[in-house]
């Protein structure tokens, strides 16, 4: 069965420091992978997605993610974090059945300290 694991429940990063949020997936074939961000009380905003091709994917707000098949990972990175990046981050994989939806990880809460 497909699954997504986000090992870190909560991460605190200093403003201006680099960020890496981890995501591991379980799926036999090539997965379709997504990162979403959710500010408190808001909906989910798509940061980036990976379907195929170049394994380094650029997204909005200066985020990027790298797909590593050998490690079953799709980690999200940002070189310099801003206070406004504090939010909940969800990694998700497209579910492999018709008329389907997303399988989400449990999320990582990012706090930014000044």
Partner 1 sequence: DTEVTQTPKHLVMGMTNKKSLKCEQHMGHRAMYWYKQKAKKPPELMFVYSYEKLSINESVPSRFSPECPNSSLLNLHLHALQPEDSALYLCASSPGTGMRDTQYFGPGTRLTVL
Chain positions contacting partner 1, by CB under 8 A: 32, 34, 36, 41-46, 49, 51, 88, 90, 94-96, 98-102, 104-107, 109
Are the C-beta atoms of 4 and 90 separated by less than 8 Å? Answer: no
Residue 2 or 15 having the CB closest to partner 1: 2
Instruction: Round to whole Å and give the CA distance between 54 and 44.
Output: 25
The b-or-e profile of 28-44 (16+ CB within 10 A means b, else e) is eeebbbbbbbeeeeeeb
Residue 15 or 38: the one with the smaller Cβ distance to partner 1 is 38
Name the minimum Å distance from CB 16 to partner 1.
27
111: tokens are 């706090």
Q: How far is the CB of 49 from partner 1 (least distance, A)?
A: 6
Closest distance of CB 36 from partner 1, Å: 8
Of 99 and 114, which CB lies nearer to partner 1 in the complex structure?
A: 99
The answer to whether the CB of 110 falls within 8 A of the CB of 19 is yes
């Amino acid at each position: 069965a497909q699954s997504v694991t986000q090992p870190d429940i909560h991460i605190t990063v200093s403003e201006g420091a680099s960020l890496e949020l981890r995501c591991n997936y379980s799926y036999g074939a090539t997965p379709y992978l997504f990162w979403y961000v959710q500010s408190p009380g808001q909906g989910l905003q798509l940061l980036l997605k990976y379907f195929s091709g170049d394994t380094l994917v650029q997204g909005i707000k200066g985020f990027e993610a790298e797909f590593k098949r050998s490690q079953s990972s799709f980690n999200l990175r940002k070189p310099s974090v801003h206070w406004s990046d504090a939010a909940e981050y969800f990694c998700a994989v497209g579910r492999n059945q018709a008329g389907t939806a997303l399988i989400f990880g449990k999320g990582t809460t990012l706090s930014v300290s000044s």
